[in-house]
Structure 1
Amino acid sequence: MAKKTEATVEDKLRELYNLQLIDSRIDEIRNVRGELPLEVKDLEDEVEGLNTRVVKLSAKLEELNESIKDKKNRIEESKSLIKKYTEQQKNVRNNREFNSLSKEIEFQELEMELAEKHIREFKAQIEQQNEVVNASKDRMSQRAEHLKHKKAELEEILKETEKEEQALMKMSQDHATTVEARLIKAYTRIRTSVRNGLAVVPIERGASGGSYFTIPPQVQVEIASRKKIITDEHSGRILVDAALAEEQVEAMEKVFAKL
C-alpha cells in the first residue's frame, strides 16, 4: 500500500488561498445585502412599537369616553334629584325643612357643574389623544409601506444569492478540512481580526495586498519560493506570491461559474 504523500507548503498555500477566495465570495454576497436585514428588523420594531402605542392610546380613548358617559349619567341623576327636591319644597311644614331641601338642591347643582367641567376636560383630552393617534397611524402606515418595499428588496436579493451562498458555505467547510488545524486556527484568527476579512493576500507592487508597507526583496523571493508560510509583519496576514494568487483566482472562478 502506497504511503500518502504529505502536502507541500505550496499545496497548503494554494488551499489556504482557495479558502480565502471562497470566504471572500461569501463576504461579497453578504455585502450586497448590506444593511438591509438590519433595516428590515428596525422597521419591523418601529411598526410594532407604533401599533402598540395606537392600541394603548385607543384604550385610553375608550376610558375617557366611558368617563364622559358616567359624568352625563351623574348629571341626569342630579337633575332628577333637583326635580324631586323642588317638588318636596312645595309641601314642607317649616323653614328648616325648606332650607334643608334648598341645600340639597344647591349641592346637586354643584355636582352638575363639576361633572360638566370634567366632561370638558375629558373632551379636550380626547381631542389631543385623537391627534396623537392619527399622527401615529399615519406614521405607522408610512413605515409599514416602507417595510413592505424593503422586505421585497431583501427577498429578491436572498432569492438570487441564497443558493450560491449555501453552496459556497459548504465548499468553505469542505476546504477547511483539507488544511491542517494549525493553519486554519491562524487563518480564522487573522480573518476575524481584520476589517475586510482578508487573512491570505498576494504581493501587489512589492507590498502585501491592501497594505502600503513594502516587503523587502529578499522576503519577496522567499514568498515566491513557496517553501514556508510567511506572514506580513505589519498586518499579520499570510502572504502568497502574485503568480500563485492569479492561478488560484482563475481556477476558482471556473468553480464559481458552475454554482
Structure 2
Amino acid sequence: MANTKELSVEDKLRAIYSLQLIDSKIDEIRSVRGELPLEVEDLEDEVAGLTKRLEKFKNDLDTIDAQIKEKKNAIDEHKATIKKYLEQQKNVRNNREYNSLTKEVEFQELEIQLAEKHIKEMKASVEHKKELVAQTKEKLDGKQNHLKHKKAELKDIMAETEKEENFLMEKSAEYEKQIEERLLAAYKRIRGSVRNGLAVVSIERGASAGSFFTIPPQTQMEIAGRKKIITDEHSGRILVDNVLADEVKEEMEKLFAKL
C-alpha cells in the first residue's frame, strides 16, 4: 500500500477513471449475454419438471396395468369357482343345497361384473394417461430442443467473450491495487448504486456526463485543477475534467485494441 500513498490526486483520478472504463467494458461484454444464462437455467428447470411428470405418468400406467391384470386373474378365479359350483349342483341331494350353490354362483357372477366394470374404468384411465403422456412428451421434446439451442448460443457467446473478460478482469484488479482502499470502497459503493455502473464521469458541457445538473464554474475549475477528489453533489459520482478523461480514454483504447 506504500505506493498508493505516494500517488498524486491527478494520478489517483487517472487510475480510478481507467478502472471505470475497464469495468464498463466488462459490463458491456456481460450485457451481450443478457438474460441468456437465466433463460438456460429456467429451461433446465422446466425440462426437469416435465421429465419428472412424465415418469409419474409412466409409473401410474404401470400401476394401472398391474391392477387390470389382478382383476383379470380374479375374473378367471371367479369363473373357475362358478364351474366348480355348477359341477357340485349336479350331485346335490336336496333343493336347499341346490339353492345355496345357485346363490354362490350368482355372487361370483356379480363379482365378475364388478371386476369388468373396474377394468373398463381403468382402461379409460389408461387412455387418458396415454394422452397426457403424449402431450407431456411433445412439450418436453420442444423444451429440450429449445434448451439445446440456447445452450449452444450461450456456449458460443462465452467462447467469444471469456478470453476478453478474463483479460479485462486482470487489468481491473491491477488498477484496483493502485487505488487507496477508502477511494476504491467509495467507487464500488457508487457503482453498485447506479443502474449504468458509472461511478466516475467527466464534465461535458458544464455538467457531469449523463446529468442535467450544471456544475458551478468555480467547481469546474477545481476539478480541472486536479488537486482534490470532487464528487457531484446530486449523484455522488466522482468527477474528472474532460481533458483528463480524453487522455485516459485514448490510453484505454490502445488497451482494448489488444482484445
TM-score between both structures, scaled by the size of structure 2: 0.96
Please name the residue that 2:58 is paired with: 58
CA distance, structure 2, for counterparts of residue 122 and residue 223 of structure 1: 83
1:170 aligns with 2:170: yes
AA matched with 2:244: L
**1:213 Cα offset (Å):** 1.6
- Kindly provide the amino acid, as one letter, of the partner of residue 233 in structure 2: E
Q: Distance in 2 between matches of 1:13 and 1:26?
A: 20
- Cα distance, 1:163 vs. partner? 0.6
Shift of 1:232: 0.9
Q: 1:5 offset after TM fit, Å?
A: 8.6
C-alpha change, 1:70 and 1:127, in structure 2 (3 Å) is: same
1:54-101 Cα offsets, whole Å, 9 max, x none, are 011100000011111111111111111111111111111111111111
Q: Distance in 2 between matches of 1:161 and 1:55?
A: 39
| Counterpart AA for 2:40 | V
TM-superposed deviation, 1:241 = 1.1
One-letter amino acid of the counterpart of residue 14, structure 1: R
Q: 1:33 to 1:4 in 2, by over 3 A?
A: closer
1:46 & 1:126 partners in 2: Cα distance? 25
Q: Which amino acid aligns with 2:223?
A: I
Q: Cα gap change, 1:80/1:5 in structure 2, threshold over 3 Å: closer, same or farther?
A: closer
Q: Deviations over 1:84-141 (max 9, x none)?
A: 1111111111111111111111111111111111111111111111111111100010
**Matches of 1:193 and 1:4 in 2, distance apart?**
26
Q: How many residues align?
A: 257
Following superposition of structure 1 onto structure 2, how do residues 142-221 of structure 1 map, counting pairs within 5 Å? Answer: 142-221=142-221
Report runs of 4+ in structure 1 exceeding 4 Å deviation.
Answer: none
User: Partner of 1:247 in structure 2?
Assistant: 247
CA contact (8 A) 2:4 2:180 kept: no
Return the alpha-carbon distance in structure 2 between the equivalents of residues 5 and 187 of structure 1: 17
| Structure 2 residue identity aligned to 1:118 | H
Residue pair 2:4, 2:178 contacting (<8 A) in 1 also = no
CA contact (8 A) 2:191 2:197 kept: yes
Distance 2:99 2:234 in 1: 102
Instruction: Show CA shifts across 1:153-206 (max 9, x none).
Output: 111111111011011111111110110111001001111111111110111222
Find the residue that maps to 1:177 and give its secondary structure: helix
CA distance in 2, matches of 1:103, 1:207: 103
What is the alpha-carbon distance in structure 2 between the residues aligned to residue 206 and residue 109 of structure 1? 100
In structure 1, how many angstroms separate the alpha carbons of the residues matched to 2:202 and 2:41? 38
Distance 1:250 1:85 in 2: 105
Counterpart position of 1:47: 47
Matches of 2:207 and 2:114, distance apart in 1: 85
**CA apart distance, 1:4:** 10
Match in the other structure for 1:73: 73
Report the secondary structure of 2:91's partner residue.
coil
Structure 2 portions without partners, runs of 5+: none
Separation in 1 of the partners of 2:72 and 2:134? 27
Q: Distance in 2 between matches of 1:230 and 1:4?
A: 18
Question: Where does the alignment leave 5 or more consecutive residues of structure 1 unmatched?
Answer: none
Residue 37 of structure 1: CA displacement?
0.4
- Work out whether residues 187 and 200 of structure 2, in 8 Å CA contact, stay in contact via their aligned partners in 1: yes
In 1, the alpha carbon distance for the partners of 2:236 and 2:8 equals 22
Cα displacement string for residues 25-57 of structure 1 (whole angstroms, at most 9, x for unaligned residues): 110000000000000111111111111110111
- Aligned alpha-carbon RMSD (Å): 1.4
Equivalence for 2:20: 20
Q: Distance in 2 between matches of 1:234 and 1:178?
A: 27
Distance 1:142 1:88 in 2: 63
Equivalent position amino acid for 1:35 in 2: E
TM-score normalized by structure 1? Answer: 0.96
